[in-house]
Structure 1
Amino acid sequence: MGRTALWTAIADALRTEIAAGSRAPGDRLPTEAELSERFGVNRHTVRRALAALVSEGLIVTRRGAGAHVAPAPAIDYPLSRRVRFRQNLAASGRVAGRRVLALETRRADPREAELLALPEGAPVHVLEGVSLADGVPLATFRSVLPGVRLPGLIAALEAESSITAALKLCGIADYTRAWTRLEARAASATQALHLQIAEGSPVMRVTSLNLDPEDRPLEYGRTWFAGDRVALTVTPGD
């Protein structure tokens, strides 16, 4: 039986590291010089191993930027009358998570008051955070909800990991989407930091208004999805 070619052994080693998660989507691989030193081979052998991984779709290379682990496939995220983050991710085989950045009650600004049908300056509960898919940042978000109608919401949001579950604790068993607006934007420095992307990278801003079962405005939300991590699909009906 012949010996395994060196470039094949290098490709196998890198493939194993990617599969094990020690090199995550988007991570930069060591340089050709570093890989040559690590495996004790010349750069031509390293290039052949990298070319094999490129052909398999495991890594991508760009002149001047080196080789990176290929990004994970975009998550199909339907926008329908009932948009539920956890259900959407579960349907795509992902585990949803959330990192809270801010949770407070403050006065509504004029736009928030208009959309939520509140007197200007009325109290609103505001939740800001990062939505995660399998631990990877997918989007940053801000949700604004009426304060007087939902006096226990802050405590419910502290106890529950989803807005849907928190609203149920407050007596809101269901809610539906009134409208959704999609706009392409460039990531700000803060958004880039939270999403672990480069500043100026494309993000999709989704602005929406949800209604309670009595068709009263319930939640005014804005979400900024990392452009290469999600495919937003508009679906009619439920």
Structure 2
Amino acid sequence: MSPAPLYRQIADAVRMDISTGRLPPGSKLPSERELIDRFGAARGTVRAGLNVLITEGLITPAQGRGYQVQQHEVFTLDASRHENLLFSRPEDGDSFNNDVTQVGRTSSQELRVEVTEASAEAATRLEIPIGDRVVLRYCRYFVDETPWSIQATQYPWWLVNAHPRLADPVDVREGTTRYLADRGVKQVDFHDEWSTRMPTPDEARELQIGPGVPILVWVRTGYSPASQPLRRTVTVLRGDLSRVTYDIGDRKSSPHREAEGQ
């Protein structure tokens, strides 16, 4: 079998340096000149090898000159507890803030709220006519000042009429799930859909992710005890910074949570 092209050999060697810890997260790569001398390659060949690693999400161009190893401080989302009011207090804030602060990290968000029309997919999930008015609450969430996810939640107009804080262009301090539950509108069932894909240009910009990094897409529909849809939430998470766990069944605790810092 013929050997791999030189640019692939360069990519493989630098990737090995990263995976073995010789180049730890956040460290600068050797300069292009050093890589040229190490591999006896032309500058264009070295850059082609580095572009492979950029596409894989392993390195990123550094400020100024050169390249650095991408820092991946993964945040674990316990989807079994997320939005479960039994595991949070009103003073802890919304579910995202509670999830992040419980593991000793900091959270922040950017919010916008608007009235829009239900798309075909949203109308199907919310069981309303296409084009009906809905309130969209759109958040960009940060973990330790790094963009981690973007979330778009749509509420049907009949629910907004009954509970107008859903349309306020400000953060609902206790979280919208608790706000509704405190007024007798409890979400007791959820339908979740998970998928992966590459980000759109807008998603890549908002999440500040480079080429080659996929996203996780989580679509959740919340239902009342009468099986009436109350909201549809689409959450887009960075694939390089996210790990999702579930507990399925009747266990009261997980032996893995302490090991994961949950």
TM-score bin, normalised by smaller chain = 0.5 to 0.7
Counterpart position of 1:117: 127
1:128 aligns with 2:138: yes
- Post-superposition offset of 1:168: 4.0
1:230 to 233, 242, 259: 242
AA paired with 2:204?
Answer: A
Residues 70-96 of structure 1: CA distance to partner in whole angstroms, max 9, x if unpaired?
Answer: 524311111127533223222322222
AA paired with 1:128?
Answer: Y
- Post-superposition offset of 1:125: 0.6
Counterpart position of 1:195: 207
Counterpart position of 1:76: 76
Question: Within 5 A, what are the aligned runs for 1:57-76?
Answer: 67-68=67-68, 70-76=70-76
Secondary structure in 2 aligned to 1:73? coil
Residues 111, 165 of structure 1: CA spacing in aligned structure 2 closer, same or farther, 3 A cutoff? closer
Secondary structure in 2 aligned to 1:224? strand
Kindly indicate whether the alpha-carbon contact (under 8 Å) linking 2:165 and 2:172 is maintained by their aligned counterparts in 1: no
Kindly indicate whether the alpha-carbon contact (under 8 Å) linking 2:74 and 2:243 is maintained by their aligned counterparts in 1: yes
Residues 85-115 of structure 1: CA distance to partner in whole angstroms, max 9, x if unpaired?
Answer: 2232223222222112x42112212221221
Secondary structure in 2 aligned to 1:208? strand
Kindly indicate whether the alpha-carbon contact (under 8 Å) linking 1:156 and 1:169 is maintained by their aligned counterparts in 2: no
Kindly indicate whether the alpha-carbon contact (under 8 Å) linking 2:191 and 2:220 is maintained by their aligned counterparts in 1: yes
Aligned partners of 1:133 and 1:62: how far apart in 2? 20
Aligned partners of 1:30 and 1:75: how far apart in 2? 25
Aligned partners of 1:162 and 1:223: how far apart in 2? 19
AA paired with 1:73?
Answer: E
- Post-superposition offset of 1:165: 6.4
1:106 aligns with 2:119: no
Residues 120, 81 of structure 1: CA spacing in aligned structure 2 closer, same or farther, 3 A cutoff? farther
- Greater Cα offset, 74-83 or 179-188: 74-83
Q: Which one has the bigger strand percentage?
A: 1
Aligned partners of 1:115 and 1:63: how far apart in 2? 39
Kindly indicate whether the alpha-carbon contact (under 8 Å) linking 2:196 and 2:215 is maintained by their aligned counterparts in 1: yes
Unaligned runs of 5+ in 2: 1-23, 33-57, 84-94, 253-262
- Greater Cα offset, 220-229 or 72-81: 72-81
- Post-superposition offset of 1:122: 2.2
- Post-superposition offset of 1:199: 4.2
Question: Within 5 A, what are the aligned runs for 1:30-49?
Answer: 32=31
Residues 27, 147 of structure 1: CA spacing in aligned structure 2 closer, same or farther, 3 A cutoff? farther
Aligned partners of 2:186 and 2:97: how far apart in 1? 15
Secondary structure in 2 aligned to 1:150? helix
Counterpart position of 1:90: 101
Counterpart position of 1:221: 233
Residues 176, 63 of structure 1: CA spacing in aligned structure 2 closer, same or farther, 3 A cutoff? closer
Identity of aligned residues (%): 19
Secondary structure in 1 aligned to 2:158? coil
TM-score normalised by structure 2 residue count: 0.59
Counterpart position of 2:179: 167
Secondary structure in 1 aligned to 2:160? coil
Residues 168-190 of structure 1: CA distance to partner in whole angstroms, max 9, x if unpaired?
Answer: 49825643451211111101111
Unaligned runs of 5+ in 1: 1-24, 34-60
- Post-superposition offset of 1:149: 1.6
Kindly indicate whether the alpha-carbon contact (under 8 Å) linking 1:157 and 1:166 is maintained by their aligned counterparts in 2: no
